[in-house]
Structure 1
Amino acid sequence: MDDDAPKRISKRNGSNIKNYHHYRVEIFCQVVDLLTQEMENRFSEASTDLLSCMACLDPKNDFAAFNVHKLVHLATLYPKDFTSTQHTELFKQLETFVDVVRRDARLNGIEDLASLSQKIVETKKDKVFPLVYYRLIELVLILPVATASVERVFSAMKFVKTDLRNKMGDEWLNDSLVVYNERSIFASVSNERILKRFQDMDTRRNQLSRLTDARAT
């Protein structure tokens, strides 16, 4: 790496450039810059700020990424879940929370937030830090699932609400999206059960025939 890079690759101001400089500055750093730019274009500033705050609750390496101010800022992003009075109380609980967790041997070596939340309940620390556990940690655990579910629904709309169905009402659209997104669950429901449920919903002049009977005829 301390050797001069080939002149045909890089040469500036008449002086040879080392291999280390060539591969780190001219290749590695440029690739990192391109990836950073691509990430900034993909995610908005609000999303990046949210992810940065959520990462502060990562229990890896003895809460190395823990930041009280960013976690309080996360709470301010959800005013319906945290009042202005609770922001001050949350700040105090967070300062004490990280010290208590680091000293408790039962909570050492935890690598993910889900396992941490289980241990907090087992050690009854959720009673001592209600805002940290029942509000903040649960919020961070729910957000990725809620966000992914919303993205799935919007992606499914182009398959459900087509040009031929552009006048469907909100209720019918909602029911159709539920069936489409949870199709693996609905696939386990037999057609006979669906027919029976439809038949029992109201008194009908004719009884629907079972699918097994229809195939036989």
Structure 2
Amino acid sequence: MLHLMRDILGITDELNKSLQKKEQDIANAMLLVEVAKRRLQMLRDDGWDALINKVSTFCIKYNILLPNFDEPYVNSGRSRRKPTDYTVLHHNRVEVFCKIIDWQLQELDDRFNEVTTDLLHEVTCLNPVDSFSSFNIRKIMRMAKLYPDDFDEFSMNALENQLATYIIDVRDMDERFSNLNGLCDLSRKLVETKKNLNFPLVFRLVKFTLLLLVATASVERAFSAMKFIKNALENRMNDELLSGCLVPYVEKDVFINISNDTIVKTFQEMKPRRVRL
């Protein structure tokens, strides 16, 4: 089980690190999702023999007793007089090895289904890397339809025209947009050059894209933090207290950078009142 766990965590390690970043390169993150799915499927189809050889070598090295895979499997919660109707090999390969990998694949499919994957691929169309090589008006228009409160029918027609003008401007005409490394650089450059005023609908989409990337990572980090804060001993805390605890935990980098002088100054500015008991 431990060897299998190490193999699975190794397969998904790069993907997990990428998804925990506040500012994500979605194009590479989605590729890592597909890579993780493919490697997990390869492990399920062809990885059993390699795992058994690795476990056998480990057990022989440390004088650990190897199980006999041909014996009937006995559940630890049942009497040994009532063995199951399948072998130790079947239990370890089907009930453990295959089932755990299937759970991992199902988790990836649930989190990154077809709709979510399409949305994240549409987000990459605004990425300025490699001279806007991923730019695709059709996909960007499809993403804009997901924001009906901000893009009505009139705005959609105007957005399509703006996108056609925008891509010629920033890709072919203005050299200041030639060496951008991501959406953050694009957003800053649009403001610096005041092109956000020329292309307000495109700039609005860029802002929505940045919010989506940060919000996705923040939600993942917040749910991970909840496991530490709202545990079995503190499961009755209300939403206000939980929110107050999550903010400093999730954004601890901000609080760590606060100097002691700032804390002392803050307390000095506070005017505590004397309370007569």
Q: TM-score, normalised by structure 1?
A: 0.67
Letter in 2 for 1:80: D
- 2:118 counterpart residue number: 49
Q: Deviations over 1:111-159 (max 9, x none)?
A: 42322333323332222111001x1111112221111111111111111
Q: How well do the aligned residues superpose, as a CA RMSD in angstroms?
A: 3.2
Of 137, 147, 154, which aligns to 1:85? Answer: 154
Q: C-alpha separation between the residues in 2 aligned to 1:173 and 1:205?
A: 32
- 1:124 counterpart residue number: 194
- 1:162 counterpart residue number: 231
Letter in 1 for 2:38: L
Of 236, 244, 248, which aligns to 1:179? Answer: 248
Relative contact order (alpha carbons < 8 A, sep ≥ 6): 1 or 2 greater? Answer: 2
In the alignment, structure 1 segments of 5+ residues that lack a partner are 1-30, 207-217
Letter in 1 for 2:238: G
Q: C-alpha separation between the residues in 1 aligned to 2:169 and 2:265?
A: 54
- Does residue 34 (structure 1) correspond to residue 38 (structure 2)? The answer is yes
Q: C-alpha separation between the residues in 1 aligned to 2:117 and 2:191?
A: 30
- Residue 58 of structure 1 deviates from its aligned partner by 1.9
Number of residue pairs the alignment of both structures matches: 175
Q: C-alpha separation between the residues in 2 aligned to 1:85 and 1:109?
A: 33
Letter in 1 for 2:165: T
Of 189, 202, 210, which aligns to 1:141? Answer: 210
- Residue 61 of structure 1 deviates from its aligned partner by 3.1
* SS of structure 2 residue aligned to 1:79: coil
- 1:115 counterpart residue number: 185
Q: TM-score, normalised by structure 2?
A: 0.54
Q: C-alpha separation between the residues in 2 aligned to 1:59 and 1:184?
A: 29
Q: Deviations over 1:155-197 (max 9, x none)?
A: 111111111211111111111111222334444465x759948
Of 84, 104, 121, which aligns to 2:173? Answer: 104
In the alignment, structure 2 segments of 5+ residues that lack a partner are 1-34, 42-104
